[in-house]
Amino acid sequence: MISAVETYLGVRRAAGFALSNSEYLLRSFAHFAAERQQAHVHTATVIDWASETVSVAQRHTRYQTICRFACYLRLEDPRHELPPPNYFGYRNSRRVPHIYSRGEIDRLIRAATQLPPAMSLRPQTYATLISLLAATGLRISEALGLRLCDLTPDGLVIRKTKFQKTRLVPLHESCVAALHRYLTCRRRAHSGGDHVFVSTDGQPLTYRQVHAVFGKLLQSADLVPSCGRAPRLHELRHTFAVRALESTPAGRQRIGQHMVALATYLGHVNIDTTYWYLETTPELLSDIAAAGESFVHGGRS
């Protein structure tokens, strides 16, 4: 079954899927099946293997990964069993994203500038990274993947990230100026390499490093609640989408055009994904109430 896994991964990756986690899971299942001397997918084996993990969500992820794999295999060999869908009864629930206020973002950036060592590139790196995420709505992976040549006079070139899409992200002049100030310091501290964001040793900054530091910044900025979940780094992207919606021009047609532009800017394949990022805020509710009142009293929507 190992060879089938390799073929499957090759086909899916040719279609633009990264499958880093799926690769690990598929290899794990293939070894599990081999220990049972099974060359074909069996539902009972899939269930036993998926049940080895702790949470229902993890079991569901493992189970669905093999279900997709089995669908592919059955196209050429019906001896592979197709497990029934959603065996573990998992229901995906969306965590309500935290929408950062402007003051909270300012506190995060201010906390980043206080990171040790005081005279090193590190404080500027994290302050600039958080500022860029808040100002552009980039995915953290896109920001960390930026190369020096990706900063062009027309904006940032985001190269083949999610869904293998490349897009141009226009930047406000203040954002361009801030990036150039950071890059001047970055070249002075580490002249080698072509990544925009680097760690103290000049190597490309990793998500693991950023995630750990961001947790500390939340504490320094007093954004860790006494109960409940702390805000997440990815929610800067949610915040950008919501603030963009708040600035939507009036008129149904113009709103539609604005949403299409926002979806393109964020790098979404389908506009439905953009709607997933939107969240109600007091400002939006106030705008909706005003529009509804205008409509009821004979105004234009």
CA pair distance 249, 145, nearest whole angstrom: 33
pLDDT in tens, 58-91: 999 999 999 999 999 999 999 999 999 989 998 8
**Catalytic one of 60, 80, 122, 268:** 268
pLDDT (0 to 100) of residue 288: 47
pLDDT (0 to 100) of residue 232: 93
Give kind and range of the element (H or E) at residue 123: helix 122-136
Mean pLDDT by 10 residues, the chain (301 residues): 93 81 94 96 97 92 96 95 93 81 96 95 98 93 94 90 77 95 95 94 94 96 83 91 73 55 61 53 52 54 46
pLDDT (0 to 100) of residue 20: 78
**Domain 102-220 falls under CATH 2.30.110.10:** no
pLDDT (0 to 100) of residue 255: 56
Active site residue 27: no
Q: Which two tokens stand for residue 110?
A: 């201010």
**Catalytic one of 122, 237, 238, 265:** 237
Q: How far is CA 171 from CA 152, 178, 294, in A?
A: 10, 11, 35
**Number of residues assigned to the chain:** 301
**Catalytic one of 162, 167, 232, 258:** 162
Active site residue 40: no
294 alpha-carbon distance from chain centroid: 38
Q: Is the peptide bond before 117 cis (omega within 30 degrees of 0)?
A: yes
pLDDT (0 to 100) of residue 241: 82
pLDDT (0 to 100) of residue 75: 94
**Catalytic one of 139, 159, 165, 190:** 139
Q: Where in the chain is the domain with CATH 1.10.443.10?
A: 102-220
**Residues β-bridged to residue 198:** 204
Active site residue 268: yes
Q: Is the pTM of this model over 0.85?
A: no
Active site residue 216: no
Give kind and range of the element (H or E) at residue 156: strand 155-158
Classify each residue of 215-242 as buried b or exposed e, where b means 16 or more C-beta atoms within 10 Å of its C-beta. Answer: eebbebbebeeeeeeebebebbbbbbbb
